[in-house]
Amino acid sequence: MRRQSFHSTERRRSLLAPPRTKTKWHAIVIGGLLLVVVRLGLINLQLLSLGGTEDMPLNTEGLPYNLSIAMIQQRFENDYRKQQQLTSKNNKYIQLPIPNSPLSPVSLGACCGIGHRFIMNIRTIVYAVSNFRLVYANWTNGDATWNDIFNNTGNIVQGPITEEFYPNECPSNWNNSSLAYQNILDDDHVRATPYYYYGDVGAHMLFEMPLAQSIVKILSDNLSPRVLSFLNPLRDQYSKSDLHLCAHVRGGNNETGDWEGKKWRHVDVFSTLNKTLVSMKSFAETRKDAKVVSVFVASDMENARPWFEANAPDNWHIVKPGKVIPRPETGVWFGEHGSTTNSILSQEQKTEAFAEAAADVFALGECHALFIPNYSSFSIFGIMLTRAERNKVFFLETEGDYIEYP
């Protein structure tokens, strides 16, 4: 075996680069950590300066995509905590998050009856808003455009179809976001009422969802001049009432097709009107200080309002429409997919009829008490707004009386 002299080994070591000491390694590690801390600090400062707090608008224009996403996440959590605090303090509505420009818009379409359209659209809007995305409303089925009914807002505008488009449905995960949380109530005692059927289509989740309620409120505050031409004359009649009562009675008007087959939705109209008036009187008796009482009745049955005029207490005011659109001989102007009922109308007449119906939808949300005798998606926005305003909703029990929704 060859022996290696100490001298030769030392000589080779002297020719090599001196080894790094532990002190130098420590310096490198510490320096790296300082760079990370500084980087995080700069990001946090950027987040704060560009809207990372609850009280400042969120703006990510020109930022790298990853930083934009980080801002969204931070703002999302801040907003969620803030909205929990707001709703716990009995505030009625929450501020909607501003859409983030790097994220692609979601688009929605229009189909079928007004209530069906609204229940699909609102869930798609909840999905988009809770994910900080803009909504393009693409109502191009020929009856009315989005801007015929609503003005554009910061979250929803009339626009083209996008890659993610929901023409007559909503995302399956529409309420998965933590921002779309619901207030949980004990609803067992109203399950033998139309409430059960709202639950059957998932609509009851909207009744107690502050985000959804806030979206509908914004829509209500941004109705088009055409819709307001129908709604404002109604408001003029009940805006100064001490007690304003509402009901929506869906009678069918001898409609065929989809409605005809859904027997569980059918009611005896005059028996229902009578039960509704009896319950309204009972509720009014609990409001002894109410000197001026008004009643608004939305119905597809032309004889519903005249019945109330003939049977309500003489000192009650039954709200009458300022503008009257003729009703179809059977059914409704905007019903199931494929219906040709409104084919006899001109485009202007279709738009006017849709605006009148939209005015009724939102008028049902401006009541001190809302009475719902049978299921109809037409009533959903009214229930949501009535709940948000901390007013009363009553459902008619099957073969029974109205009971209060807690």
- Average pLDDT of 84-90? 52
Tokens standing for residue 376: 């109809």
Question: Residue 284 and residue 131: Cα distance in Å, rounded?
Answer: 43
Helices and strands in the chain, H and E counts: 14, 10
Nearest to 367 by CA among 381, 351, 357: 381
pLDDT at 32 over 80: no
Torsion sign (Cα): 98, 178, 109, 386: negative
Question: Residue 28 and residue 32: Cα distance in Å, rounded?
Answer: 6
Q: Report helix, strand and coil shares of the chain as percent, to nearest 5.
A: 45, 10, 45
The pLDDT confidence band at residue 28, using thresholds 50, 70 and 90, is low
Tokens standing for residue 134: 């803009």
**SS3 label, residue 331:** coil
Tokens standing for residue 313: 């207490």
At residue 1, the pLDDT reads 41
pLDDT at 292 over 50: yes
pLDDT above 70 covers a percentage of the chain that reads 66
What are the distances in angstroms from CA 19 to CA 7, 43, 86, 187?
Answer: 19, 37, 61, 75
Range of weakest confidence among 21-25, 117-121, 230-234? 21-25
Task: Assess contact for 296 and 367: CB atoms under 8 A.
Answer: yes
At a CB cut-off of 8 Å and minimum separation 6, what does 376 contact?
Answer: 115, 248, 250, 265
Question: Residue 112 and residue 344: Cα distance in Å, rounded?
Answer: 17
Q: Pairing state of beta strands 135-137 and 156-158?
A: parallel
Task: Assess contact for 236 and 378: CB atoms under 8 A.
Answer: no
Query: In this structure, which amino acid lies at residue 227?
Result: V
Task: Assess contact for 372 and 249: CB atoms under 8 A.
Answer: no
pLDDT at 299 over 80: yes
| The total number of residues written for the chain in this structure | 406
pLDDT at 229 over 50: yes
Interval 142-174: pLDDT, tens: 788 999 999 999 999 999 999 999 998 889 999
Nearest to 203 by CA among 375, 395, 404, 360: 375
